[in-house]
């Protein structure tokens, strides 16, 4: 699914927090690996949706989900 479709699915099911998966795990697309993170972040912000983006491999406690941390921005500069 595209980031736009992901947001729409989240809205359709009336989710409380959006946790996108399979973003940035493989660099097989024609766009930079971090672009889906940027797109879903912008979309979630515009829609007022809580976005949760733990770093790849980071543990996540579903009872205490932190807000979006934009961790990929530092990596994308390198």
pLDDT at 70: 87
Q: Which residue has the higher pLDDT, 49 or 66?
A: 49
Give 5-74 as a 3 state SS string. Answer: HHHHHHHHCCCCCECCCCCCCCCCCCCCCCHHHHHHHHHHHHHCCCECCCCCCCCCCCCCCCCCCCCHHH
**What is the average per-residue pLDDT within 55-63?**
84
- Global pTM? 0.81
Q: How far apart are CA 30 and CA 37, in angstroms?
A: 15
pLDDT at 51: 93
pLDDT digits (tens, 9 = 90+) for 13-51: 999 999 988 766 666 778 888 888 999 999 999 999 999
Round the average pLDDT of the chain to a whole number and report it: 86
| 50 in Cβ contact with 16 (< 8 Å) | yes
């Amino acid at each position: 699914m595209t980031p736009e479709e992901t947001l729409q699915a989240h809205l359709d099911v009336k989710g409380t927090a959006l946790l996108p998966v399979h973003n940035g795990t493989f660099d097989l697309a024609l766009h930079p690996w971090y672009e889906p993170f940027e797109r879903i972040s912008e979309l979630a912000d515009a829609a007022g949706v809580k976005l949760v983006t733990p770093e790849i491999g980071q543990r996540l406690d579903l009872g205490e989900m932190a807000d979006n941390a934009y961790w990929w921005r530092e990596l994308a500069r390198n």
